[in-house]
Amino acid sequence: MEAAAASALTKEVVLKLVALLSEKHKLSKPLKDDLRFIRTELDMISSARDSHHMMAGDPSSSSRRPQAVVSMEEMRDLAHDIEDCIDRFLPCVACEGEAAASSVLRRVKTAVTSTRSRFAAEIRKLRGRLRDAHERRANYDVQAGGGPSFSAAATGAGSPPAAADGDLVGIDKPRQELVELLLESEPGRSGVISIVGFGGSGKTTLARAVFDCPAVVRRFPCRAWAAAPEHRDAEGLLAAILRQFHTAQNSIHGFLRTTECLIVIDDINKQHWDAIKSIFHRETKSRIIVTTSLQSVANACSSGGGYVYKMSILDAELSKVLLMKKVFFQGCSPELERGSTAIVEKCDGLPLALVSVAKFLLGENELTGNHCTQVCRNLGLHMEKDADFTKLQQVLVNNYISLSGYPLRTSLLYTSVFPNGRTISRNTLIRRWLAEGYVQCQYKRSDHEVADENFRELIDRNIIRPIDASNNTKVKTCKTHGIMHEFMLHKSMSDNFITSLRDQNRSKFRHLFIQNPASGSTLGLNHQHTSTASDNVSGSEKFRARSLTIFGNVEESASEFCRCELLRVLDLQECNDLEDDHLKDIHKLWHLKYLSLGGTINNLPRNIEKLHCLETLDLRKTKIDILPYEVIGLPHLAHLLGKFKLGKKDLKMSELKKLLPKTCKLKTLAGFVADENAGFLQLMAHMNELKKVKIWCESTGADSKSLPHISKAVQKFAQDGMDTTGVRSLSLDFGNSTGDFLGSMQEYCYLSSLKLRGRLSVLPHFVTSLCGLTELCLSSTNLVGNALSNLCKLRYLLYLKLVEADLRSFVIKNGDFPSLRRLCLVVQSPVLPTIGKGALPYLVSLQLLCKDLADLSGIKIEYHDCLEEVALDSMVSTKAVETWETAAKKHPKRPKVLFLKRIDPSEAQSSVKYVAADGPMPKKGPSIEFSQVQLTQNMLQNECIIRSVQSSSVNKPNSALKKIIVSEPHQAASELSSAGNGAMPPSASICNS
């Protein structure tokens, strides 16, 4: 872990060294020699870091010796000091070689001349420190390798014992669902059931509960269980399975063709599955269940008629049930229950974490709520040192070291900058990674492509939880698992990687944050520090931080922004008390690449033009409506986010063009208001790298002067796309005018995504003629059936969203939308479009968001063989829920029935949004008391009763609690919610694996 923090040394540092060594700087030969030495040392430190983690799984490795850890920490600090020195000398390596150097670079070169001797002295000192470090490594016999202070434990321990009754919380519903799949599957159908989720979420426990269920035992008397990690190759795995069948046959292939059996393969990986999948051919009579932590592996195993069950987390009430059963079995006082709430929040519904904390608490002589709170405050330390957390630590460490490469591991550590439990925007995270230099591109790919791939890998491994999906199925927002966040933050603080700005030792850390207690819950207890911002730190001391993130109030700390002179990221979007005056010296942050501001900011300072390196400027939450012209001239600006005008200044085109840098790098302009000032619209023609544009039209009347400019700008943007590939997105909001001006648009344009909001008389031919259009959203257009029928010409469309008052006259016929995967209809009328048989043959997701929906409304989901999920408004009636769940159960793929909650927009003209909900019509009720649950302990039994239930898992906490108190024994455990492929509902889960 110590080595991962050193991965802040990116290719950018080496590039800066190369720039310094170029002839134009005319450095002295001794200085050049020192720089070459240091460059080589950086490569060696990187190699040592690689060896450090390659040996992580070897308990006998010398990397576990204390002196090896100390040596690696020293090399890390040296690497950081080198980076600091280089950054202060040459802030913007991206500008090296540009023909027209900016005033900033000219100042830098002047500074190089005037301070060359001091810079040379610092480099000479760093070289001496490196030599001393090597001598110490030799003197103390520290090998070139090295490893973390803990080792990765091997996963899988053979066939696990049956889970104790006390561990089975919330298991009834998922067990029933999977057992029904096994018992109702047709003979000869080889669909594989994949159980996927984060380590410790209960995958193995659920698989074992299904494996041991009496009804399953009767149906499959011939059963086998195998733990994949115990076998190096497929032959050993298959031989272990065959031995459990006690057969004379020596071929599992022949045995499976003639015998109906059940096989569970725990913790399978892609290599094992690729090697054995041919054995489980379609003609087999056997059934297979696999567990895995990788979504991609689960999808591969269950392709071709299989089923993926995605584990979820326990809700707060079920978490308390589990704690009560493990710790508070003698009752719980109000004071103790209050302390237990802190544990529930910190463990974030992960059963293994709850069980681990429970074991630790059992060792206390007298347990109080205050002690529970203290345990939460120091949970990271307990996880590192106490034996009760060994299994949990192994799971967390394995999740970390299994990641491919140090940039990805550091990117994961970086997520702990955000408060525990807070939703993180995917785009924000990726842009911050890029600004920090934590993305190292290889081959012929862009940095953004690599960052996007890294994010997908973290999602695929279920290390971070997807919360909300965008239209094209990419994850839009995410969260880190609460206990994983705790683990990462503790290690980051131990390694001088992340800490609070109020920490008295903050000057040594790479990333700083402020989280006020009021802005979070007890989840963030370990973010709080007792020292004030000015304690024990000289007022002239400089910080080495590369990022500062503030949630809540900045208070007196605003004066310390400019002491972080090497900042690359300044995220103030969630800062509640920032004032315009706090930004007056922001131009001194020469290295700043990412800047976001919050709702208390009204104006940008004019000197923002001096932020030469700025790549992302996020003003979406501010009150800024007039953008200073100087912003457009920033040479590296790639993402400009907000809703603003360019001002009332009337400039000629020749003057406007001078505002832009020679090579405009702007990729995202989302967005601006098009009014009588056509400045932005005219500049768009010269923004050659634009990929995403959002425009609000403030014009009134068809004769508005701005409409021709809008039409021309949109035409140019769309036509430029003909020479490109990939994402090219346009969003137009007509406001009080109409979008009929689009009727004059020419054909032969390219857009991959188009969103139109506002009145249309007819569907513009421009829309249906777009090449490459895969995503289309029409909102409040007032188009009716005949006009919408032309949409069926879009043969390559993958996603369609219609937000209209009435869609009853829209008819989708046989053969229409032959590529569409996702259809979202947001309507007021409960009468839905008519969808004929043979239409939408590849539909995977159907979202019908109408709170007045009473039944199926004529939708026949059996027409759609590929359907995996149906999403309904959370306010639909109970009758509608039951009708849809019954229909889903009868469908061959048993699509999930999910629920989305309507979020009214803050702005009157904004579109309505929906987010994932726990279930339909959530009701408020009293929190469960531990004493009540105590009465039901003897009612909880590990017996699987097969009964007719809906296949869709819906989280109903209040009805579940009633079942715990008044139901028969087999109904005692609460229902769980299971998320299907691509679905993001936060819901409950089962106990630890």
**Considering only CA atoms, which of 116, 137, 111 is closest in space to residue 31?**
116
Question: Where are the extended beta strands (E) located within 815-952?
Answer: 822-827, 834-835, 845-849, 869-873, 896-903, 913-916
Token pair listed for 738: 């109409």
Residue 732 near residue 712, CB atoms below 8 Å: no
Q: 951 vs 587, which has greater pLDDT? A: 587
* Residue 465, strand partner residues: 479
- Span 312-321, average pLDDT: 86
Torsion angle, alpha carbons of 605, 611, 617, 621, to 10: -30
Length of the chain: 993
CA 108 to chain centre: 38
Distance, in Å, from the CA atom of 727 to the CA atom of 952, rounded to the nearest integer, reads: 34
Domains of the chain: 2-139 (no CATH), 165-310 (3.40.50.300), 409-495 (1.10.10)
State residue 131's pLDDT score.
85
**Considering only CA atoms, which of 986, 7, 69, 23 is closest in space to residue 494?**
69
Question: Where are the extended beta strands (E) located within 397-473?
Answer: 424-425, 464-469
Model pLDDT for residues 82-100, shown as the tens digit of each residue: 888 888 776 565 554 443 3
Distance, in Å, from the CA atom of 71 to the CA atom of 78, rounded to the nearest integer, reads: 11
Distance, in Å, from the CA atom of 38 to the CA atom of 310, rounded to the nearest integer, reads: 49
- Span 390-394, average pLDDT: 92
State residue 565's pLDDT score.
87
Distance, in Å, from the CA atom of 89 to the CA atom of 103, rounded to the nearest integer, reads: 16
DSSP state of 141: T
Q: 191 vs 863, which has greater pLDDT? A: 863
Give kind and range of the element (H or E) at residue 290. Answer: strand 287-292
Model pLDDT for residues 865-880, shown as the tens digit of each residue: 999 999 999 999 999 9
Scanning 835-920, the segments in alpha helix (DSSP H) are: 878-890
Model pLDDT for residues 406-415, shown as the tens digit of each residue: 788 889 999 9
State residue 49's pLDDT score.
59
State residue 275's pLDDT score.
87
Q: What is the mean pLDDT of the chain?
A: 78
State residue 12's pLDDT score.
60
Q: 492 vs 29, which has greater pLDDT? A: 492
State residue 707's pLDDT score.
79
Give kind and range of the element (H or E) at residue 734. Answer: strand 729-738
Question: Where are the extended beta strands (E) located within 600-721?
Answer: 616-618, 639-644, 668-674, 692-697
What residue type is 157 in one-letter code? A
Cα four-point dihedral sign 143, 149, 154, 157:
positive
Scanning 559-646, the segments in alpha helix (DSSP H) are: 629-632
Among 95-109, 277-291, 563-577, 927-941, the least confident range = 927-941
**Considering only CA atoms, which of 789, 810, 674, 784 is closest in space to residue 736?**
674
pLDDT at 934 over 50: no
Query: Counting Cβ atoms within 10 Å, is residue 948 exposed (0-12), middle (13-18) or buried (19+)?
Result: exposed
Q: 76 vs 611, which has greater pLDDT? A: 611
Q: Is the peptide bond before 671 cis (omega within 30 degrees of 0)?
A: yes
Contacts of 791 (CB under 8 A, 6+ apart): 763, 767, 768, 776, 797, 800, 817
Residue 68 near residue 143, CB atoms below 8 Å: yes
pLDDT tier at 727, thresholds 50, 70, 90: confident
Query: Counting Cβ atoms within 10 Å, is residue 898 exposed (0-12), middle (13-18) or buried (19+)?
Result: buried
Distance, in Å, from the CA atom of 622 to the CA atom of 628, rounded to the nearest integer, reads: 14
Model pLDDT for residues 137-146, shown as the tens digit of each residue: 777 777 654 4
State residue 283's pLDDT score.
63
Scanning 327-368, the segments in alpha helix (DSSP H) are: 334-347, 351-361
CA atoms within 13 Å, Cβ hemisphere of 40: 9
Model pLDDT for residues 923-932, shown as the tens digit of each residue: 444 444 433 3
Distance, in Å, from the CA atom of 653 to the CA atom of 677, rounded to the nearest integer, reads: 12
pLDDT at 215 over 90: yes
Q: 979 vs 576, which has greater pLDDT? A: 576
Q: 910 vs 565, which has greater pLDDT? A: 565
State residue 2's pLDDT score.
42
Contacts of 133 (CB under 8 A, 6+ apart): 71, 74, 75, 78
pLDDT at 109 over 70: no
pLDDT at 81 over 90: no
State residue 472's pLDDT score.
56
pLDDT at 776 over 50: yes
State residue 156's pLDDT score.
37
Distance, in Å, from the CA atom of 720 to the CA atom of 724, rounded to the nearest integer, reads: 7
CA atoms within 13 Å, Cβ hemisphere of 427: 14
- Report the percentage of the chain scoring pLDDT > 70: 76
Model pLDDT for residues 450-507, shown as the tens digit of each residue: 999 999 999 999 999 888 765 556 788 999 999 999 999 998 888 889 999 888 888 8
pLDDT tier at 417, thresholds 50, 70, 90: very high
Distance, in Å, from the CA atom of 939 to the CA atom of 932, rounded to the nearest integer, reads: 12
Among 545-559, 660-674, 896-910, 913-927, the least confident range = 913-927
